[in-house]
Amino acid sequence: MPLVQFAPFSSLIHPSFWHELTNLKIDVLRLSDEALPISGSYSVGRSVTDRESGSEIALACNLTVGSESFDKEIKASPGTILASGTFKNYNTIEEFKAADKAALFNHEVNKIWDRIVITRDTRFLNHFLLITFADLKKYKYYYWFAFPAFVAKPAWEILDDGWKDATEEFSAEQLFKIHEQLRSRSSPLPFFLIQHDASIGPVEDFASFFGSTPTERPTIGFVDPSAHPTNPGWPLRNLLAYLRALHPGSSSTLRVLCWRDTEIPISSWKSRVGVIKVESGKQQETDERPSAVGWEKNPQGKLGPRMADLAPMMDPTKLANQAV
Protein backbone atom coordinates (compact mmCIF):
# COMPACT_ATOMS: atom_id res chain seq x y z
CA MET A 1 0.00 0.00 0.00
CA PRO A 2 1.34 3.44 -0.89
CA LEU A 3 2.29 5.88 1.82
CA VAL A 4 0.00 8.80 2.47
CA GLN A 5 1.83 11.96 1.47
CA PHE A 6 0.60 15.26 2.81
CA ALA A 7 0.78 18.54 0.92
CA PRO A 8 2.62 20.99 3.18
CA PHE A 9 1.33 24.46 3.88
CA SER A 10 2.94 27.25 1.97
CA SER A 11 2.92 30.68 3.48
CA LEU A 12 1.31 33.66 1.81
CA ILE A 13 1.95 37.03 3.39
CA HIS A 14 -0.26 39.92 2.46
CA PRO A 15 1.80 43.13 2.12
CA SER A 16 -0.41 44.69 4.79
CA PHE A 17 1.17 42.28 7.28
CA TRP A 18 4.55 43.93 6.74
CA HIS A 19 3.03 47.40 6.98
CA GLU A 20 1.43 46.45 10.26
CA LEU A 21 4.67 44.92 11.52
CA THR A 22 6.51 48.13 10.59
CA ASN A 23 4.07 50.21 12.61
CA LEU A 24 4.16 47.78 15.48
CA LYS A 25 7.93 47.69 15.51
CA ILE A 26 8.23 51.47 15.58
CA ASP A 27 5.40 52.27 17.97
CA VAL A 28 4.95 49.28 20.24
CA LEU A 29 7.60 46.59 20.07
CA ARG A 30 10.61 48.87 19.70
CA LEU A 31 13.55 46.69 20.65
CA SER A 32 11.52 43.93 22.22
CA ASP A 33 11.87 40.51 20.66
CA GLU A 34 9.31 38.81 22.85
CA ALA A 35 7.21 36.15 21.21
CA LEU A 36 3.72 37.38 20.33
CA PRO A 37 0.56 35.45 19.57
CA ILE A 38 -0.71 35.95 16.01
CA SER A 39 -3.13 34.16 13.80
CA GLY A 40 -3.28 33.03 10.22
CA SER A 41 -6.00 31.51 8.13
CA TYR A 42 -6.56 28.95 5.44
CA SER A 43 -9.48 27.80 3.36
CA VAL A 44 -10.30 24.86 1.14
CA GLY A 45 -7.86 24.11 -1.63
CA ARG A 46 -8.59 25.74 -4.94
CA SER A 47 -7.84 24.60 -8.42
CA VAL A 48 -8.22 26.32 -11.72
CA THR A 49 -8.89 24.97 -15.17
CA ASP A 50 -6.26 25.99 -17.65
CA ARG A 51 -8.10 27.28 -20.66
CA GLU A 52 -5.29 26.39 -23.02
CA SER A 53 -4.73 22.80 -22.02
CA GLY A 54 -8.01 22.05 -20.27
CA SER A 55 -6.20 20.49 -17.36
CA GLU A 56 -7.03 21.17 -13.75
CA ILE A 57 -4.24 22.93 -11.92
CA ALA A 58 -4.07 22.83 -8.15
CA LEU A 59 -3.16 26.05 -6.45
CA ALA A 60 -0.85 26.20 -3.48
CA CYS A 61 -1.94 25.00 -0.08
CA ASN A 62 -1.82 28.45 1.46
CA LEU A 63 -1.76 29.67 5.00
CA THR A 64 -2.26 33.42 4.87
CA VAL A 65 -1.31 36.17 7.28
CA GLY A 66 -2.25 39.83 6.89
CA SER A 67 -2.57 42.98 8.95
CA GLU A 68 -5.49 41.44 10.83
CA SER A 69 -3.18 38.67 12.06
CA PHE A 70 -2.02 40.89 14.93
CA ASP A 71 -5.59 41.54 15.97
CA LYS A 72 -6.33 39.68 19.20
CA GLU A 73 -10.08 39.55 18.64
CA ILE A 74 -9.85 38.33 15.08
CA LYS A 75 -12.86 36.55 13.67
CA ALA A 76 -12.65 34.13 10.82
CA SER A 77 -14.22 35.41 7.65
CA PRO A 78 -16.76 33.02 6.14
CA GLY A 79 -15.23 29.91 4.65
CA THR A 80 -11.85 30.31 6.33
CA ILE A 81 -10.29 28.50 9.25
CA LEU A 82 -8.14 30.35 11.76
CA ALA A 83 -4.83 28.95 12.93
CA SER A 84 -3.00 30.30 15.94
CA GLY A 85 0.67 31.07 15.70
CA THR A 86 3.68 32.33 17.58
CA PHE A 87 5.48 35.30 16.12
CA LYS A 88 8.97 36.44 16.95
CA ASN A 89 10.72 39.40 15.39
CA TYR A 90 14.47 39.87 15.75
CA ASN A 91 16.23 43.21 15.86
CA THR A 92 19.22 42.35 13.72
CA ILE A 93 19.91 39.99 10.88
CA GLU A 94 22.65 38.43 13.02
CA GLU A 95 20.21 37.59 15.76
CA PHE A 96 17.78 36.25 13.19
CA LYS A 97 20.47 34.00 11.77
CA ALA A 98 21.72 32.89 15.14
CA ALA A 99 18.30 32.05 16.56
CA ASP A 100 18.10 28.57 18.01
CA LYS A 101 15.54 27.27 15.56
CA ALA A 102 15.46 23.75 16.92
CA ALA A 103 14.65 25.03 20.42
CA LEU A 104 11.97 27.42 19.16
CA PHE A 105 10.41 24.67 17.11
CA ASN A 106 10.48 22.18 19.95
CA HIS A 107 8.89 24.67 22.27
CA GLU A 108 5.92 25.07 19.93
CA VAL A 109 5.67 21.34 19.27
CA ASN A 110 5.55 20.69 23.01
CA LYS A 111 2.74 23.20 23.35
CA ILE A 112 0.75 21.42 20.65
CA TRP A 113 1.39 18.03 22.22
CA ASP A 114 0.38 19.25 25.66
CA ARG A 115 -2.89 20.55 24.25
CA ILE A 116 -3.53 17.13 22.74
CA VAL A 117 -2.83 14.98 25.78
CA ILE A 118 -3.89 17.35 28.56
CA THR A 119 -6.79 19.47 27.37
CA ARG A 120 -7.69 17.05 24.56
CA ASP A 121 -8.98 19.80 22.27
CA THR A 122 -8.25 20.21 18.58
CA ARG A 123 -8.00 23.98 18.41
CA PHE A 124 -4.23 24.01 18.62
CA LEU A 125 -3.51 21.40 15.96
CA ASN A 126 -2.73 23.96 13.26
CA HIS A 127 -0.44 26.05 15.44
CA PHE A 128 2.46 27.60 13.51
CA LEU A 129 5.67 29.52 14.16
CA LEU A 130 6.93 32.58 12.33
CA ILE A 131 10.27 34.28 12.88
CA THR A 132 11.15 37.51 11.12
CA PHE A 133 13.72 40.22 10.73
CA ALA A 134 12.50 43.50 9.28
CA ASP A 135 15.02 45.72 7.52
CA LEU A 136 12.85 48.81 7.74
CA LYS A 137 15.22 51.11 5.91
CA LYS A 138 15.40 48.91 2.84
CA TYR A 139 11.83 47.59 2.98
CA LYS A 140 13.13 44.04 3.12
CA TYR A 141 11.56 41.46 5.33
CA TYR A 142 13.22 38.14 6.12
CA TYR A 143 10.96 35.45 7.43
CA TRP A 144 10.70 31.77 8.10
CA PHE A 145 7.57 29.81 8.83
CA ALA A 146 7.26 26.45 10.53
CA PHE A 147 4.09 24.39 10.43
CA PRO A 148 4.82 21.65 12.95
CA ALA A 149 3.38 18.24 12.14
CA PHE A 150 3.90 15.01 14.04
CA VAL A 151 5.53 12.14 12.21
CA ALA A 152 3.58 8.91 12.41
CA LYS A 153 5.70 5.80 12.98
CA PRO A 154 4.87 3.51 11.30
CA ALA A 155 3.59 5.77 8.56
CA TRP A 156 0.02 5.94 7.32
CA GLU A 157 -0.80 4.02 4.19
CA ILE A 158 -3.67 4.42 1.79
CA LEU A 159 -5.62 1.44 0.50
CA ASP A 160 -4.76 0.48 -3.04
CA ASP A 161 -7.78 2.14 -4.59
CA GLY A 162 -6.31 5.46 -3.46
CA TRP A 163 -7.98 8.82 -3.09
CA LYS A 164 -11.30 9.00 -4.87
CA ASP A 165 -13.93 11.59 -5.60
CA ALA A 166 -16.15 11.97 -2.57
CA THR A 167 -19.17 11.23 -4.74
CA GLU A 168 -18.00 7.65 -5.13
CA GLU A 169 -18.70 6.99 -1.47
CA PHE A 170 -21.15 9.71 -0.51
CA SER A 171 -24.43 10.54 -2.15
CA ALA A 172 -25.09 14.10 -3.23
CA GLU A 173 -27.68 14.39 -0.45
CA GLN A 174 -25.10 13.40 2.14
CA LEU A 175 -22.62 15.95 0.80
CA PHE A 176 -25.32 18.62 0.82
CA LYS A 177 -26.07 17.74 4.39
CA ILE A 178 -22.43 17.98 5.43
CA HIS A 179 -22.10 21.28 3.61
CA GLU A 180 -25.20 22.62 5.32
CA GLN A 181 -23.99 21.62 8.78
CA LEU A 182 -20.53 23.08 8.28
CA ARG A 183 -22.00 26.31 7.04
CA SER A 184 -24.53 26.71 9.83
CA ARG A 185 -21.98 26.57 12.64
CA SER A 186 -21.17 29.85 14.30
CA SER A 187 -17.46 29.07 14.46
CA PRO A 188 -16.11 27.02 11.59
CA LEU A 189 -15.13 23.45 12.32
CA PRO A 190 -11.70 22.54 10.93
CA PHE A 191 -12.06 18.86 11.87
CA PHE A 192 -15.16 16.76 12.25
CA LEU A 193 -16.57 13.26 12.57
CA ILE A 194 -19.18 11.90 10.19
CA GLN A 195 -22.00 9.47 10.99
CA HIS A 196 -23.56 7.04 8.55
CA ASP A 197 -26.45 9.45 8.13
CA ALA A 198 -23.96 12.25 7.32
CA SER A 199 -24.53 14.14 10.54
CA ILE A 200 -21.30 15.62 11.83
CA GLY A 201 -19.82 16.33 15.23
CA PRO A 202 -16.63 17.68 16.79
CA VAL A 203 -13.60 15.40 16.97
CA GLU A 204 -13.45 15.88 20.75
CA ASP A 205 -16.51 13.56 20.95
CA PHE A 206 -14.73 10.69 19.23
CA ALA A 207 -15.31 8.20 22.04
CA SER A 208 -19.06 8.71 22.21
CA PHE A 209 -19.97 9.97 18.75
CA PHE A 210 -20.21 6.68 16.94
CA GLY A 211 -22.45 5.20 19.62
CA SER A 212 -22.16 1.93 21.45
CA THR A 213 -21.54 -0.18 18.37
CA PRO A 214 -17.85 0.15 17.63
CA THR A 215 -17.30 1.16 14.02
CA GLU A 216 -14.66 -0.69 12.13
CA ARG A 217 -13.44 2.36 10.28
CA PRO A 218 -14.76 5.62 11.67
CA THR A 219 -15.19 8.43 9.15
CA ILE A 220 -13.39 11.66 9.87
CA GLY A 221 -13.37 14.86 7.86
CA PHE A 222 -11.31 18.01 7.74
CA VAL A 223 -11.32 21.26 5.83
CA ASP A 224 -8.60 20.56 3.31
CA PRO A 225 -6.36 23.38 2.09
CA SER A 226 -4.84 21.11 -0.53
CA ALA A 227 -6.25 20.79 -4.01
CA HIS A 228 -3.90 18.05 -5.15
CA PRO A 229 -5.86 14.96 -6.13
CA THR A 230 -3.58 12.54 -4.30
CA ASN A 231 -2.23 14.62 -1.42
CA PRO A 232 -4.39 15.56 1.54
CA GLY A 233 -3.43 18.80 3.21
CA TRP A 234 -1.12 19.33 6.16
CA PRO A 235 -3.81 19.71 8.88
CA LEU A 236 -4.70 16.02 8.57
CA ARG A 237 -1.33 15.01 10.00
CA ASN A 238 -1.87 16.44 13.43
CA LEU A 239 -5.46 15.29 13.46
CA LEU A 240 -4.23 11.75 12.92
CA ALA A 241 -1.61 12.18 15.63
CA TYR A 242 -4.38 13.38 17.94
CA LEU A 243 -6.54 10.36 17.25
CA ARG A 244 -3.66 7.90 17.59
CA ALA A 245 -2.63 9.45 20.88
CA LEU A 246 -6.07 9.58 22.48
CA HIS A 247 -7.96 6.72 20.85
CA PRO A 248 -5.33 4.19 19.83
CA GLY A 249 -7.78 1.30 19.96
CA SER A 250 -10.22 2.52 17.37
CA SER A 251 -8.23 4.71 15.02
CA SER A 252 -5.94 2.35 13.14
CA THR A 253 -8.20 2.33 10.07
CA LEU A 254 -9.97 5.51 9.15
CA ARG A 255 -12.04 6.73 6.30
CA VAL A 256 -10.99 10.32 5.60
CA LEU A 257 -13.09 12.91 3.83
CA CYS A 258 -10.91 15.75 2.52
CA TRP A 259 -13.45 18.55 2.45
CA ARG A 260 -12.79 20.91 -0.46
CA ASP A 261 -16.18 22.46 -1.18
CA THR A 262 -16.99 25.75 0.51
CA GLU A 263 -19.71 26.33 -2.04
CA ILE A 264 -22.30 24.01 -3.45
CA PRO A 265 -20.53 23.18 -6.67
CA ILE A 266 -21.95 24.02 -10.07
CA SER A 267 -20.61 20.97 -11.84
CA SER A 268 -18.91 18.46 -9.56
CA TRP A 269 -17.89 18.10 -5.93
CA LYS A 270 -14.20 18.58 -5.35
CA SER A 271 -13.91 16.75 -2.03
CA ARG A 272 -11.89 13.54 -1.90
CA VAL A 273 -12.21 10.43 0.18
CA GLY A 274 -9.89 7.58 1.00
CA VAL A 275 -9.38 4.85 3.55
CA ILE A 276 -6.08 5.02 5.36
CA LYS A 277 -4.47 2.52 7.64
CA VAL A 278 -1.67 2.35 10.10
CA GLU A 279 -0.20 -0.83 11.44
CA SER A 280 -1.35 -1.07 15.01
CA GLY A 281 0.49 -3.01 17.63
CA LYS A 282 3.86 -1.69 16.65
CA GLN A 283 2.89 1.73 17.86
CA GLN A 284 5.11 3.57 20.24
CA GLU A 285 4.09 4.51 23.74
CA THR A 286 1.22 6.91 23.48
CA ASP A 287 2.36 9.36 26.08
CA GLU A 288 5.69 9.80 24.40
CA ARG A 289 5.74 12.75 22.04
CA PRO A 290 6.40 11.75 18.42
CA SER A 291 9.01 13.68 16.49
CA ALA A 292 7.81 16.55 14.34
CA VAL A 293 8.75 18.26 11.08
CA GLY A 294 7.49 21.35 9.32
CA TRP A 295 9.97 24.14 8.59
CA GLU A 296 8.95 25.71 5.34
CA LYS A 297 11.38 25.36 2.47
CA ASN A 298 12.52 28.39 0.52
CA PRO A 299 11.88 28.79 -3.23
CA GLN A 300 15.09 26.87 -3.94
CA GLY A 301 13.64 23.88 -2.12
CA LYS A 302 16.12 24.15 0.76
CA LEU A 303 15.39 24.60 4.40
CA GLY A 304 16.03 28.30 4.69
CA PRO A 305 14.31 31.62 5.22
CA ARG A 306 12.54 33.64 2.59
CA MET A 307 12.63 37.31 1.88
CA ALA A 308 9.94 39.70 0.78
CA ASP A 309 11.34 42.76 -0.95
CA LEU A 310 8.71 45.44 -0.75
CA ALA A 311 10.92 48.29 -1.88
CA PRO A 312 9.25 48.45 -5.30
CA MET A 313 5.88 48.87 -3.61
CA MET A 314 6.86 50.88 -0.53
CA ASP A 315 9.98 52.93 -1.15
CA PRO A 316 8.84 56.51 -1.87
CA THR A 317 11.77 57.23 -4.18
CA LYS A 318 11.12 54.16 -6.31
CA LEU A 319 7.43 54.92 -6.45
CA ALA A 320 8.20 58.45 -7.56
CA ASN A 321 10.39 57.15 -10.39
CA GLN A 322 7.69 54.81 -11.48
CA ALA A 323 5.07 57.53 -11.66
CA VAL A 324 6.79 59.54 -14.39
Report 50-109 residues binding another protein (CB under 8 A): 50, 52-55, 57, 59-62, 64, 77-79, 93, 97, 101-102, 105
Q: Where are the alpha helices (DSSP H) in 12-153?
A: 15-24, 93-98, 101-114
Give the residue with the Cβ less far from another protein, 45 or 210: 45
Applying CB under 8 A, among 5, 32, 119, 187 the residue interacting with another protein is 5
Residue 38 Cβ vs another protein, minimum distance, rounded to whole Å? 17
137 binds another protein (CB under 8 A): no
- Do residues 254 and 275 touch, judged by C-beta distance below 8 A? yes
Residue 299 Cβ vs another protein, minimum distance, rounded to whole Å? 4
Cα 292 to Cα 106: distance, rounded to the nearest angstrom: 8
Q: Residues 255-284 vs another protein: string with x where CB under 8 A?
A: -------xx--x------------------
Q: Residues 104-133 vs another protein: string with x where CB under 8 A?
A: -x----------------------------
CA distances, 281 to each of 154, 157, 210, 252, 278 (Å): 10, 15, 23, 10, 9
The distance in angstroms from the start CA to the end CA of the chain is 62
Query: What DSSP string describes 57-81?
Result: EEPP-EEEE-GGGG-TT--PPTTEE
25 binds another protein (CB under 8 A): no
DSSP three-state, residue 321 = helix
Give the residue with the Cβ less far from another protein, 209 or 269: 269
Q: Which stretch, 28-36, 119-127, 278-286, 296-304, contacts another protein (CB under 8 A)? A: 296-304
In terms of Cβ atoms closer than 10 Å to its own Cβ (0-12, 13-18, 19+), residue 47 is middle
Helix (H) / strand (E) element for 40: namely: strand 36-43
Residues 148-177 that bind another protein (CB under 8 A): 151-152, 155-156
